[in-house]
A and B are shown apart, each in its own frame.
Chain A
Amino acid sequence: MNPQGTNNEQRVGEQVLITKRTARWAKLAVLAAGVLALAAVTISPSYAANDTEVYIVQGLPGKNLDVEIDGKSVASGVKTADVAGPFKVKPGKNTVTFSENGNEVLKRTFSVKDGGKADVVAHLPASSSGDPLVTVYKYEDVKVPKGKAFLAVSHTAAVPPADIQVNGQVLFANIANGESLDLTVPVATYKVAIVPSGKKKPVYFGPVSLTVKGGAINLVYALGDPDKKTMNVAVHVVETGKTGSDKPSEVNTGTGGQAVGEGPALQVNLAR
């Protein structure tokens, strides 16, 4: 908003200096600049408000899906474990349709608040004999310190409640289809495996290596069906702001000497 306004104002200043005849134009220009500035102020929030968006996560094994949002085609041939988007949607209720070769596979409504973000996931239910479903996982910008990642894991696979082992230890416990858990972890490559809640076997998936991205939200979806050997993960990484300062090289937390009986005496002596 500023460049235009500033230019106009500068121009205004010059004109006034050159001749008084242009003073009336100058006033108009100032007015125009003001209007422009005002317009910019009112425009920017509504632009932000339009940033209501979703990603599509294709969690159905063995399918290439075409996706429509509110009857409009947004993606075609989305493969298993792929993430498509972002797609701008209107705040409030929307309808998503997944189809394959012209046949409707799934159709659901979902709601996203103004400016909200969500992953719309088509996936299998906990029991592989059930119908596929759509789960919407909402997320917001989470700032993380440099060198750390916000990691959210979601269960969208045809398995009962599960534990997620990270480097051999249960880091995410007893998570059921449709649920998620999150943590902030240092940037590293982790060995990830999915096992039944409270057990070590059978291993539903993995171990696989997962490298998390720092300064970002890492949304991980476990999907597929171990009985059909279609277990997989979809990973959606969203860059976000960083927070926190660098590692200190020094901590200087004693500047008086009083703790060892050195400090105040000096000050008192000087004062006298």
Chain B
Amino acid sequence: MQSRFRSLERRGPGLRLCLVSVLCLITFFCGCTAQASSGNSRPTSGGPDGHSSSVAPAREGHPAASQRVTFIPEHLTLRGHGSAEVQPAETVDGLLKVPENVQHVGWWDGSAQAGEPFGATVIAGHVDSATEGIGFFARLRSIKVGEMVTLRAGSHSLKYRVTSVRDVPRRALATDSQAFKQSGPHRLVLITCTGHYHRDRGGYDNNLVVIAKPRGMAR
């Protein structure tokens, strides 16, 4: 669950700027008051010891205009291939529980938010399922280096450019591919299944891992 603080911090730049300017104005006026009363003379009005109403207010700290936007993705668009709703996905007994609706994809809730400076934003989705058929991420089977992926949430967005597409044996995903690494420069990692399908086991050999790099900062 996101705290109030986080939701406050994750507002759009417009709102933030607006907030900042209001705060600046307040700070400016408070600053004047502080200046007036912190000079040579003690506060002149108020109680006997200069207590009560004459004490100047402290300044309020506020975010700088360059506060970075980060957001939990809610929509993913593969340019030219449509978009899908993104839902938070939890790891249960080692398995990432992606949405059962194969037209939706899942953001691993332990991974980076879009726009963070470090770590992978991990989004996984069904290539297909026994009950619902072909999934949205079946489109990843034809994605190519250089294609654009956009993450969005409300008014926020961040574009990524695909830099690598590769198959990783499913058992090696966690150890070999560094798909889940939360250090290093920020990147988007899209995961689905690929390779040979084993009807007897009801699963594929490999994971398809698509890595995309952010184009600038999140807005």
Contact = CB atoms under 8 A, between A and B. Distances in A.
Interface of A: 71, 95-96, 106-111, 120-121, 131, 133-143, 145-148, 154, 171-176, 178-186, 188, 243-260, 262-264, 266-267
Interface in B24-71: 27, 34-35, 38-39, 50-51, 55-68, 70
Most A CB atoms within 10 A — which of B5, B8, B60, B112? B5
B38 A131 contact: yes
Interface in B115-173: 116-119, 124-135, 137-138, 141, 170-171, 173
Interface residues of B, number: 80
B57 A183 contact: no
B61 A136 contact: yes
B58 A110 contact: yes
B199 A257 contact: yes
B5 A142 contact: yes
A254 B90 contact: no
A132 to B, nearest CB: 8
Contacts of B112: 184
A259 B203 CA distance: 12
B170 A179 contact: no
Contact of A138 (B35, B61, B131): B61
A49 B165 CA distance: 53
B59 A251 contact: no
A108 B57 contact: yes
B107 to A, nearest CB: 10
Contacts of A175: 64, 66
Contact of B170 (A121, A178, A247, A251): A251
Nearest to A107: B55
B61 A135 contact: yes
Contacts, number: 223
A254 B192 contact: yes
Given A247-B180, A248-B96, A254 B110 contact: no
19 contacts: A107-B56, A108-B58, A131-B39, A133-B38, A134-B59, A135-B61, A138-B61, A154-B61, A180-B64, A245-B90, A245-B92, A248-B180, A249-B94, A250-B171, A251-B173, A254-B127, A258-B128, A259-B138, A263-B133
B197 A251 contact: no
Given A135-B60, A179-B62, A254 B204 contact: yes
B141 A148 contact: no
A184 B126 contact: no
Nearest to B27: A178
Contacts of B204: 254
A107 B27 CA distance: 17
Nearest to B93: A249
A184 B112 CA distance: 8
A172 B92 CA distance: 36
Interface in B87-119: 90-92, 94-96, 98, 108-113, 116-119
B180 A137 contact: no
